[in-house]
Amino acid sequence: MSDTPVPPAKRQPLLSGRDAPAEPPARAETLVTGAPRIQAREPSPGRGVGWPGLLVFSLLQCALLVGAGWYVLQQRPIADTPASVPTVTAPAVPVAPSAATTTLQAELAEAKNQLQSLQTRLEARTGEEERLQGRLQEMADRMALLLQQNTLGGPRGGEAEVGRAAEVAAMLPSVSPATNELILMKERNRLSDYADRAIATGSREALESLVKAMIDPEMKPLIHAAQAEFKRVQAYYDMGIGIDPGYTLPVQELFKDAGLTREADLTPAQLHGLLADLKQPWEARLRAAFLLRSSNEPETTQRLLQALREDPVLDVAKQAQITFENRVGRKFRLFDIPAIEAWWQAQGKR
């Protein structure tokens, strides 16, 4: 048996515009029986899937993407706030105030003034209430101190005084030792405050409060404390000076119509008036008391004693006492007014 030869297929040129020729017939092989055998043709690579399948696959992908986007939008609400649009503001045109506006402004200003006045009154009322509360507290402390003193020391008088002490004891609650110590401490602090004000501001009122505490029988437990504070004030004024050593009287301002220019031109009468005038600065009164050392007028001594007793500033009272001592030729303890007046009265009787 002989095989029939199959002519080889010709290779078509690339990029030819003609249709591809028909495929060559399958090579026939001669079987043993003599029948021809047709060989199965192998599929060419790249031709298993057609373009309809690709199109369907692309459509499925687009559908999946659209569904995913819709799901995300449903889960995340979109803000419904409109986008901000820049606005253009027209320039303001000045408008003349009307009569109603002017009246309203006047009413507002008046209401503001009334509110400020009311606030000032409230502040003043609050200050008065605080001062009143302080006085009441001081009276209560002293009453408790008196009760404690009467309870511990016993009655110091006749039956009438014993009866008054019993009435006070019945009206007020009993004072414990701790409360008594607290009361004494508060009174001691008050005495120290008097001395501090007398030294810092020259307050005669504060010094007089110390003197009252020294002679007050209710303050007997603190008599030594009051004496110590009084001596502290004395020691300060014995050694200290509260005025500028170079201070001189402004003569032209104090005596404008007199035509004076120097302190030496002032008469004792003018210095007396300046010393007694509490409206003048305390430095001017102190300087007048100093210049009266050269006065020969008998009235000068009385003027000095009056300043020593009545001037509200202790610096002026100190200078008045020094000038008085220089005139009479005798020294006294500072601010020992009872001793000075007693001695002066005795000199007058002689």
List residues bridging with 36 in a β-sheet.
Answer: 30
Which phi-psi region, left, alpha or beta, contains residue 15 (left: φ > 0; alpha: ψ -120 to 50)? left
The reply to whether 268 falls in a domain is yes
Which of 140, 175, 210 is the last residue in one of the domains? 175
Q: Please check whether residues 171 and 113 belong to one and the same domain.
A: yes
d(CA 295, CA 330): 17
Q: Please check whether residues 269 and 300 belong to one and the same domain.
A: yes
Which of 175, 203, 226 is the last residue in one of the domains? 175
pLDDT at 106: 86
pLDDT at 56: 80
Q: How many domains does the chain have?
A: 3
pLDDT (tens, 9 = 90+) of the chain, 350 residues, equals 445 554 555 555 545 445 545 455 545 444 444 555 545 455 454 455 567 777 788 888 888 888 887 787 777 654 444 444 455 555 555 555 677 788 888 888 888 888 888 888 888 888 877 877 777 777 666 666 665 555 444 444 444 544 554 554 455 555 567 777 888 888 899 999 999 999 999 999 999 999 999 998 888 888 999 999 999 999 999 988 888 888 999 998 888 877 788 888 899 999 999 999 999 999 999 999 999 998 989 899 999 999 999 999 999 999 999 999 999 999 999 999 999 999 999 988 55
Containing structural domain, residue 280: 251-349
Q: Please check whether residues 203 and 283 belong to one and the same domain.
A: no
Distant-in-sequence, close-in-space partners of 93: CB < 8 Å, separation ≥ 6: none
pLDDT at 175: 57
Q: Please check whether residues 160 and 213 belong to one and the same domain.
A: no
Q: Please check whether residues 307 and 230 belong to one and the same domain.
A: no
Phi and psi, residue 264, nearest 5°: -65, -20
Give yes or no for a contact between 292 and 183, defined as CB atoms under 8 angstroms apart.
Answer: no
The reply to whether 122 falls in a domain is yes
Rg (CA), the chain: 59
pLDDT at 217: 87
Which of 175, 197, 232 is the last residue in one of the domains? 175
The reply to whether 279 falls in a domain is yes
pLDDT at 149: 56
The reply to whether 15 falls in a domain is no
The reply to whether 17 falls in a domain is no
Q: Please check whether residues 227 and 260 belong to one and the same domain.
A: no
Q: Please check whether residues 224 and 306 belong to one and the same domain.
A: no
Q: Please check whether residues 255 and 289 belong to one and the same domain.
A: yes
Q: Please check whether residues 208 and 290 belong to one and the same domain.
A: no
Distant-in-sequence, close-in-space partners of 254: CB < 8 Å, separation ≥ 6: 274, 280, 284
The reply to whether 27 falls in a domain is no
Q: Please check whether residues 212 and 170 belong to one and the same domain.
A: no
Q: Please check whether residues 164 and 194 belong to one and the same domain.
A: no
Q: Please check whether residues 120 and 170 belong to one and the same domain.
A: yes
The reply to whether 263 falls in a domain is yes
The reply to whether 43 falls in a domain is no
Identify each DSSP E strand in the chain by its residue range.
28-30, 36-38
